[in-house]
């Protein structure tokens, strides 16, 4: 009887143990399932955070791109406006130059040709003139013809200096300076080095035109007595400086003024920038004005 009771108790304990083991196993499986789900959820959260960060970075990049585009667009508008302004200035300068040439042709060449025509007509009617008087009138007519030829040559030289093409920059500058000095009673000194002639034609033309404009401005406005034009070689560039001892002017005010007088300065700057160079203008009371140009060259002074 006691043995059956012990066996019954043991069987009851075994059942409870097995039931507890099944409960533990189920709890373990549930815990593992929860762990896997938590890991999956963590991975999903990390992916979500990366995606959010990527989209935020994309939004920032888009904002930066939009700002950059707007800045480039504004810069493009400014450049276009500058180009339109320069184009208007160029057209205005061309019209002024045409007006000047037309006026000088009328005042110089046309009037001289009219005088020649009158002189020839007089000679045709003067059958009773003696040889000496006839020879004197012919000589006067020849001088008028020579004057017309010189005037036409002067126009041609101003439009395109032949010396620059055939002889080089230094001789062309010397010819121009001698003529300007003789007309304006101005002392002009030139200092240069022979290597300047190795520059390509376009750059030599820029230097000539800038020197021509700067010297013309000195003769017209500076009331100077002496001008020094210096062509020198510096590392990586050619430098030209035109310095006078005349009266000064406000460079910023002149460049910002809406007047014709600034067109020469604007033209000089545009010419220099077209060949990759830079232009500086300094003017101070008691020190005159200095126009400085630097044009880049290759290694060893090559064009």
CATH of the domain at 263: 3.30.565.10
54 found inside a domain: no
**pLDDT value for 245:** 93
pLDDT for res 157: 66
pLDDT at 113 over 70: yes
Sequence-ordered strand ranges (E) for the chain: 187-191, 226-234, 237-244, 278-284, 288-296
Residue 116, domain member (yes or no):
no
Nearest to 42 by CA among 50, 7, 200: 50
Residues 249-262 have pLDDT tens digits of 887 777 666 554 55
**Residue 299 in domain:** yes
Closest by CA position to 247, among listed 276, 218, 269, 272: 218
> By C-alpha distance, which of 248, 258, 257 is closest to 281?
248
- Per DSSP, helices labelled H in 105-160 are 111-125, 131-159
Listed residue (97, 52, 68, 113) closest to 212, CA to CA: 97
pLDDT at residue 281 is higher than 80: yes
pLDDT at residue 91 in the model: 64
pLDDT value for 222: 87
Q: Cβ neighbours of residue 302 under 8 Å, at least 6 residues apart?
A: 198
Q: What is the pLDDT of residues 214-243, one digit of tens each?
A: 999 899 888 999 999 999 999 999 999 999
Burial (CB count within 10 angstroms: exposed 0-12, middle 13-18, buried 19+), residue 39: exposed
Give the structural domain span for 245: 169-303
Which tokens go with 243?
Answer: 């310095």
Domains held by the chain: number: 1
pLDDT at 240: 97
Q: Would 21 be classed as within a structural domain?
A: no
Please indicate whether residue 169 or residue 274 has the higher confidence score (pLDDT): 169
137 within some domain: no
Is residue 234 domain-resident? yes
Element (H, E) at 205: helix 201-217
The answer to whether residue 300 sits within a structural domain is yes
Angstrom distance (rounded) from CA 204 to CA 209: 9
Residue at 180 is within a domain? yes
Give 77's strand partners. none
Sign of CA dihedral 207, 212, 215, 221: negative
Top mean-pLDDT range of 41-55, 125-139, 231-245: 231-245
Q: What is the pLDDT of residue 109?
A: 72
């Amino acid at each position: 009887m006691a043995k059956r009771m012990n066996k019954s108790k043991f069987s009851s304990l075994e059942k409870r143990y097995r039931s507890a083991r099944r409960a533990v196993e189920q709890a373990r499986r549930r815990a593992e399932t929860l762990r896997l789900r938590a890991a999956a959820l963590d991975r999903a959260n990390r992916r979500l955070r990366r995606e959010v960060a990527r989209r935020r970075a994309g939004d920032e990049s888009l904002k930066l791109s939009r700002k950059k585009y707007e800045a480039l667009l504004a810069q493009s508008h400014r450049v276009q406006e500058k180009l339109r302004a320069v184009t208007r200035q160029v057209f205005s300068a061309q019209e002024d130059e045409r007006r000047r040439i037309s006026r000088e042709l009328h005042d110089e060449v046309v009037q001289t040709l009219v005088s020649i025509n009158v002189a020839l007509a007089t000679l045709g009617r003067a059958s009773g003139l003696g040889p000496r008087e006839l020879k004197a009138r012919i000589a006067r007519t020849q001088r008028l013809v020579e004057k017309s030829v010189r005037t036409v040559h002067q126009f041609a030289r101003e439009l395109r200096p032949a010396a620059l093409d055939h002889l080089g920059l230094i001789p062309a500058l010397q010819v121009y300076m001698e003529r300007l000095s003789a007309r304006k009673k101005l002392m002009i000194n030139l200092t240069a080095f022979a290597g300047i002639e190795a520059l390509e034609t376009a750059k030599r033309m820029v230097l000539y035109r800038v020197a021509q404009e700067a010297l013309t401005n000195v003769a017209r406005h500076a009331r100077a007595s002496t001008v020094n034009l210096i062509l020198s070689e510096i590392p990586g560039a050619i430098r030209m400086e035109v310095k006078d001892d005349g009266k000064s002017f406000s460079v910023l005010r002149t460049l910002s003024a809406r007047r014709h007088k600034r067109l020469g300065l604007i033209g000089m700057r545009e010419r220099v920038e077209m060949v990759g160079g830079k232009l500086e203008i300094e003017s101070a009371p008691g020190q005159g004005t200095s126009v400085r140009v630097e044009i880049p060259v290759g290694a060893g002074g090559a064009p």
